[in-house]
Structure 1
Amino acid sequence: MNKGAKWKDELPVILFIIIFVGLIILFSIFGSGFLTVNNILGILRHVSIVAIAALGVSFVVIVGHTDISFYLVACFAAMMMGFSLAKGLPAPMAVFAGLGCALAFGICSGFAVGVLKLPDIIIAIAIGTIGYGCAYLPSGGSRIYTNFSSSGIGFLNDGSILGIPCPTFLMLVFYIIAYIILEHTKFGTYFYSAGLNKIAANYSGIRVSLVVLVAFVICILLGAFAGEINTASVGNAEVTTALTLLLPCYTAVSIGTAIFKKPGVIGTFLGALLLQIVSNGFTHMNLKYWYSDLTTSILLILSLPISLLNNRKGNSGSTVKASA
């Protein structure tokens, strides 16, 4: 590879570093208290919710599919957790009650797309609508406050493990496990193989339908858990708790794909971190929240051409589908 080609290959990484450092400098100058230890720890705490959900999205994107139902199912999982707490279940059991409901939806989505070969977008619309509709069942759409303060569920957001905020610790655990699976195990290569060429993967002995099913289950479970953490941080269960996850999650994955030419763990985390820095920086500059949403949308649009270009070069067969 000549120097010119190598430089072009590294250009997305260079651009990301420039943007990342530039934003930190900008917010440090114009945002009071941005570059402080407490604020940095706050960024790492608050990025966890989007980062965990985006990690799940990465698995679906890697296998060449799209899931836009995870955040709606997450609303149902969060409401079921709140309902379980109100009925007197211990916090851990309430968390698993919500995740159990999400698991059922994940299996249905994965089976429909992976085994029955139904269109992922249509299935996502159907599953998401059902999931969000079910979110109204536990309380009729009302917020659930009962037993929240006494159950200890707040530990999910306010607690710490080994001196690390609980959301940040859990995020790191999920990312380390995902990185090991995707980059250092044979099973992890199946996800990328399924995304690059499903027919070739089938001929090579990979059960693509099972891999796709697992990817959808992971996506919806991690999205649901992110919704539960967000619910714990709010202090009550409400139907809309996870509705803001869709845009930042896909933007984080798209940014990561643009940087490293394929969807993956590290890229997704860096994308999520960039978005959280933007959101936090705008807050310190006293800008309205919709500026953050606007910037996130712009970053999603700007990252797409790079992802598409990488796809044309053959670096990632799942980029176009994932970004659609």
Structure 2
Amino acid sequence: MSKTQTAVFVTEIGKPVVRGSRPVPSPSNGQVLVKVTTTGLNALDALGRNYGLLIQETLPAVLGADVAGVVAEVGPDVTTFKQGDRIFGQAALQNSDSRGLQEYALLDAQFAAKSAAGFSDGQMASFPTNLVTAAVSLFDESALGIPAPWTEAAAKFDYGAKSILIIGGGSNTGRYAIQLAALAGFGKIIVVASAKKASEIRSLGATHVVDRSSAAATIVTEIRNVAGDDLLFALDTIQQPDAQFIGVDALSNTKKGKLARLLTQGPVPAEKLSSEKQAGYEVKDVFGSSHAMKDTAAPLWARLTAYVEGGKIRPLTYAVIKGLDVEAINRKLDGYSDGSTSGQCQVQMD
């Protein structure tokens, strides 16, 4: 194995990514070195390139947090994988040695899993960041704090009697949040999404779909027609803060509910609420990192292969870029930036 490798870097914030070379890292305790076969691009990568999110202090920085490939070398203390295994995992978000837009990347074994039989590396690489973000949103104490279905607390939590609201159900994270809510067994999974996606959204586990193009008051009324005044859990995956009042407005007026949100730059405008929240409410900002939220992420990773093979969690569809093509990668990141594209993209190595 060569000591250097080809990689794609952010060398200057706000400028296009460039192709270059960097050393091949060596695995430490608990890590594996993966020969990357595909890595997923997300809007998070555009924010890194454009504004330095998570990479400002580590330039030149490699992008790509969703990694799939073949184990090339196993570090000390790793017993879950061996050389030659097909695996996928989430990169450490602030560590270029771990990112996927390069030939070899390090993954922490506790935040990786064997690729499911019968699924491609591209399908497996559609999971890490968006699925972990959905799991943190629903199950981590820093967010909605719902007991995860694999915990002891789940036995005492009556999911079937509860409702959950997911705004942006057609987004990548939204699709996984629906599936996790269905896996947990929520009685009512109310999803705000495009009417054109209603059939797909229901196939993922939604029990009710509300057309996102309706007026805000109509959306809230339709949600309340389903959940009554009992909604305690809402997740907003797409709205800017000035529109996040919809999720808060749908929460119970007499019981304290929570809104978890992915876009966090500003307060929710309380003056837009149509009714008083007598018991108050909480707004929780979500950080979808396995490494930062390991108490929620590690148990999910330990079960994820079985969930996929059992059909309980389905991968996303995605576009494909062949090889470390910087022009194509920059075009995709531009699309995330200007809103002309929103789906996942897999960069497949030559």
TM-score bin, normalised by smaller chain: under 0.3
Q: Which has the higher contact order (CA 8 A, sep 6+)?
A: 1
- Give the structure with the larger helix fraction: 1
- Give the structure with the larger strand fraction: 2
Q: TM-score w.r.t. structure 1 length?
A: 0.25
